Structure 1
Amino acid sequence: MIFDAHCDVLMKLYLEPDTLSFQSKNDMHITYPQLCEGGSKIQLFAIYIPSRLKPGQRFQAALNMVNLFYNRIIEPHPDVKFVASKEDIDNLSQNEIGAILTLEGAEAIEEDIGKLETLYRLGVRSVGLTWNWANAAADGALEPRGGGLTSFGYDMVRFLNEKDMWTDVSHLCEKAFWDVIETAHHPIASHSNAYSICPNPRNLKNEQIESLIKQDSVIGITFVPPFLNKKGSAELTDIVRHLEHICSIGGENHVGFGSDFDGIDETVKGLSCYHQYDNLIATLQRYYTDKQIRKFLFGNFQKRVRF
């Protein structure tokens, strides 16, 4: 069973609604046939607002992606179940797949906590405060200023705490990361790697990884080649290097995977789509026990569901 903590299928369907199909095996990195054949149990689907959209357009785009989630992913497939709680996960039958909505970046809610509450009511259960740049909540990982949470950002985290939602630290700059660690009840990193293995500003330094472990959190290793290897190209063993590093500093029970499929142009050699998760599993079996692999693939994220 696989718990994948991040993909951008909804963005792809939003941008190309008439040309891409979730039911076609090869249209995207993640499709319904691939989830079924690849052993998916839980897949998180992010709402990400393209940067070209202006204020006043962004919340409507988020609502459109929510509609895509229900109309293209949930309703046509009786064995794909909307998940809004840990109880929903526990109640999945053997052949059912759980789908969870997430939000990537506060741009979508346009400085309005009421809009965040609306997205919560529609099913969003995990929120990343930024993408790579600054917004009303905080500065992202590539924002030169590197500022922490704003007053609105603290309001967002307090709302997430009240609802027992995940606060996703992936994409935050370091100052904002530490503000979240001090404030959030349930922080996670849905798709981030180890900075000491690959010094990309999107990756987490050892102190950050250790702080997430102390918070009983979980870190999703992502399959983005520039986050895996300084060369920009990557192989399956590069994923293992990041996994092993996090395990070496106490993270065996705090690490999983967040592919970022359909949010990336280049892919890891041998892992070009969800169907090839099997190749990753075969590589993991060279280094880890079955019990460890089950934790990495599913158990560590599943255990941290609080909503």
Structure 2
Amino acid sequence: MNSIDMHCDVLYKMQKSQGTLNFKDSDQLDVNLERLKQGKVKVQAFAIFIEPELLSDKQFAAVLEQIDYYQKDVLGKNPEMKQIKKWTEIKDLKEGEIGSFLTLEGVSSIGNDLNKLEYLLDAGVLSVGLTWNPANLAADGIGEPRGGGLTDFGFEIVKRLNERKVFTDVSHLSVQGFWDVMKCASYPIATHSNVLSLCSHVRNLNDKQIKAMIERDAMIHVIFNPTFTVEEGQDKKVTITDLIPHVERLVELNAVRTIGFGSDFDGISTHIEGLSHTGETQNFIQALLEKFTVKEVEGFAFQNFMNHLPQ
């Protein structure tokens, strides 16, 4: 069963390695070409993530460097990998081709310059999270104690994303920032978050947020991160069986048509047993098939996202 993954941090890891990792088959990459094929991942989103500690005047250059790794090492050396710059292009993928697109995890790198945002959208960024965990000029992230929402600049960014038919990602936003996005975004999405009532990690979504997403017919992509799946301090291996209840709870809340996958591979330091890299995606799908119908699992894996492409 083909799948779509809305979040990985391959580009960050390739940048940190200064280009020494081969995207085709490096076993140091949770997501590589061979593993995408093995896991039957038909479309993979590649996040651009810049460490907040990096000096602000160096951040945009770091973004451009990650895009360069994407163009030269992911696409240029692997003809099976195809960049999607318009949503309709997903439907044009041929047998044996794997679609990919860029996302932006936090807008700190653009400073207060909307021209830089437009440049990144022109380069093919199709989903934008306003923040990582800290605050920036657009909004407070979930790690900012102040807990503020969007600034005027943040609202202006969302307006541009609406005009360009680009997703606004809520996964790292403060709670108030989440509600501000719900007011103004045409295409809200949670690219990698689980259910707060099952695991109290601050990045997970509470039931009220989940219900608001469902009311907006917005996608929620479950994350394959142990610390988002079970409570910290549990002395046990985290398995796929522990992740299934997050999907079940989302279905209980009526999200069966808006569930997807957002692995966070290459951005996580520990892994769920049996789901340690993208090549093991089918293990998760098989576990889901024990609990849900084939049609429902096809939705979670691929079709729900296809049904919610910005138009």
In the superposition, the TM-score normalised over structure 2's length comes to: 0.96
> For the residues of structure 2 that align with 1:17 and 1:34, how far apart are their CA atoms?
22
Aligned residue in 2 for 1:283: 287
Alignment of 1:245 with 2:249, yes or no, is: yes
* Counterpart residue identity of residue 266, structure 1: T
Alignment of 1:80 with 2:84, yes or no, is: no
Match of 2:128, SS state, is: strand
Deviation at 1:85, TM superposition (A): 1.5
Identical-residue share of aligned pairs (%): 41
Aligned residue in 2 for 1:39: 40
Aligned residue in 1 for 2:60: 59
Match of 1:251, SS state, is: coil
Q: Do the aligned partners of 2:101 and 2:126 also contact (CA within 8 Å) in 1?
A: yes
Question: Can you give the 5+ residue segments of structure 2 that lack an aligned partner in the other structure?
Answer: none
Deviation at 1:25, TM superposition (A): 4.3
1:109-167 alpha-carbon deviations (Å, 9 max, x no partner): 11211100000111101000000111111111121110000111111101101101000
Q: Do the aligned partners of 2:241 and 2:287 also contact (CA within 8 Å) in 1?
A: yes
> For the residues of structure 2 that align with 1:180 and 1:52, how far apart are their CA atoms?
26
* Counterpart residue identity of residue 162, structure 1: E
Deviation at 1:16, TM superposition (A): 0.5
Deviation at 1:278, TM superposition (A): 1.9
Alignment of 1:115 with 2:116, yes or no, is: yes
Q: Do the aligned partners of 1:7 and 1:258 also contact (CA within 8 Å) in 2?
A: yes
> For the residues of structure 1 that align with 2:280 and 2:232, how far apart are their CA atoms?
22
Deviation at 1:234, TM superposition (A): 2.0
Deviation at 1:206, TM superposition (A): 0.7
Aligned residue in 1 for 2:72: 71
Aligned residue in 2 for 1:103: 104
Q: Do the aligned partners of 1:25 and 1:34 also contact (CA within 8 Å) in 2?
A: no
Equivalences for residues 112-261 of structure 1 within 5 A: 112-231=113-232, 234-261=238-265
1:228-287 alpha-carbon deviations (Å, 9 max, x no partner): 100365210121100000000100001111000000100101111111112111211211
Match of 1:81, SS state, is: strand
* Counterpart residue identity of residue 279, structure 1: N
Aligned residue in 2 for 1:292: 296
Aligned residue in 2 for 1:23: 24
Q: Do the aligned partners of 1:111 and 1:136 also contact (CA within 8 Å) in 2?
A: yes
* Counterpart residue identity of residue 263, structure 1: G
* Counterpart residue identity of residue 272, structure 1: S
Deviation at 1:36, TM superposition (A): 1.4
Q: Do the aligned partners of 2:24 and 2:78 also contact (CA within 8 Å) in 1?
A: no
Number of residue pairs the alignment of both structures matches: 307
> For the residues of structure 2 that align with 1:204 and 1:170, how far apart are their CA atoms?
8
Deviation at 1:27, TM superposition (A): 2.0
Aligned residue in 2 for 1:304: 308
Match of 2:254, SS state, is: helix
